[in-house]
Amino acid sequence: MRRMDGSDAERVAQALAGDRDAFRVLVERHSRSIFRLAYRMTGNEHDAEEVVQETFLKAYRRLSRFESRSNFGTWLYRIGVNCSLDLMRKRRPDSERRDSDAPEGSEAVRELPSPDPAPDRLLLSAELGRQVAKALGALSPTERAAFLLRHFEGQSIEEIGQALGLRASATKNSVFRAVQKLRLALEPFVQVKPNVAASRAPSPNQ
């Protein structure tokens, strides 16, 4: 996430003075990171675009509340998280259905490491990606947000707590529950991988 720098500070001050072009610069500068966050949380591009629009609309309306000594990116991120959570809660039944049928080209699949280019390895990675997307969809909105912010965005417990409006203990519990649920959901699939590798390995007599 971008740190608050002189350029951001200048743009915020100019926007508060009524310069809409200054706020447009802030939108261009931070829209990609907000879209990435929203896409990971909502699971589809249409909802992510809606979250981005809502995030910057609320940010513009609340710009006078922003304290210049704070991190603008973190402040904006907090708004984006809340907009994503609101949309996820509103569309929970639909999101469960979409996540269970997540395509192979989803963010979760694309970011899975695949150091071995062998076809069977690629198939396993694609299937694991589908299972990860499905497991993420089964988490509560708060658990999903906490997990993604921690393990995809690399945020600290303090930053996640600020974004979600939770105390440190509650934030840690949300991340822990998410990890435990994902581990339980993915364990049957992950355990298959050594067996597949063994079945493809030549026997000692060959």
Task: Tally the C-alpha atoms within 13 A of residue 32's C-alpha that lie toward its C-beta.
Answer: 5
Q: Which pLDDT value is given to residue 124?
A: 53
Q: Which residue has the higher pLDDT, 179 or 2?
A: 179
Tokens of 34: 């907000």
Q: Which pLDDT value is given to residue 74?
A: 84
Q: Which pLDDT value is given to residue 21?
A: 92
| pLDDT tens-place string over residues 53-100 | 999 999 999 999 998 777 888 889 889 999 999 998 887 655 444 443
Distance from C-alpha of 52 to C-alpha of 30, rounded to nearest angstrom: 10
| pLDDT tens-place string over residues 90-138 | 876 554 444 433 333 344 433 434 444 454 554 556 777 788 888 888 8
Burial of 113 (0-12, 13-18, 19+ CB in 10 A): exposed
Tokens of 160: 């996640």
Q: Show the domains of the chain with their CATH numbers.
A: 1-91 (1.10.1740.10), 117-192 (1.10.10.10)
Q: Which pLDDT value is given to residue 93?
A: 58
The region that residue 104 occupies, defined by phi over 0 for left and psi between -120 and 50 for alpha, beta otherwise, is alpha
Q: Which residue has the higher pLDDT, 103 or 9?
A: 9
Identify each DSSP E strand in the chain by its residue range: none
For 163-197, the DSSP string reads: HHT--HHHHHHHHHHHHHHHHHHHHHHHTHHHHHH
Q: Which pLDDT value is given to residue 69?
A: 78
Tokens of 200: 């493809």
Q: Which pLDDT value is given to residue 31?
A: 96
Q: List all residues 6 or more positions away from 89 whose beta carbon is below 8 Å from its beta carbon.
A: 141
Distance from C-alpha of 93 to C-alpha of 107, rounded to nearest angstrom: 20
Cβ atoms of residues 115 and 92 within 8 Å:
no
CB count, 10 Å around CB of 61?
Answer: 9
Nearest residue to 76 via CA among 14, 162, 201: 162
Q: Which pLDDT value is given to residue 10?
A: 87
CB burial of 5-19 (b: ≥16 within 10 Å; e: otherwise) equals eeebeebbebbeeee
| pLDDT tens-place string over residues 185-203 | 888 876 644 444 444 444 4
Q: Which pLDDT value is given to residue 202?
A: 44
Q: Which pLDDT value is given to residue 89?
A: 83
Q: Which residue has the higher pLDDT, 68 or 170?
A: 170
Calculate mean pLDDT across residues 25-40: 93
Give Dmax (Cα) for the chain. Answer: 80
Q: Which residue has the higher pLDDT, 167 or 104?
A: 167
Distance from C-alpha of 54 to C-alpha of 98, rounded to nearest angstrom: 22
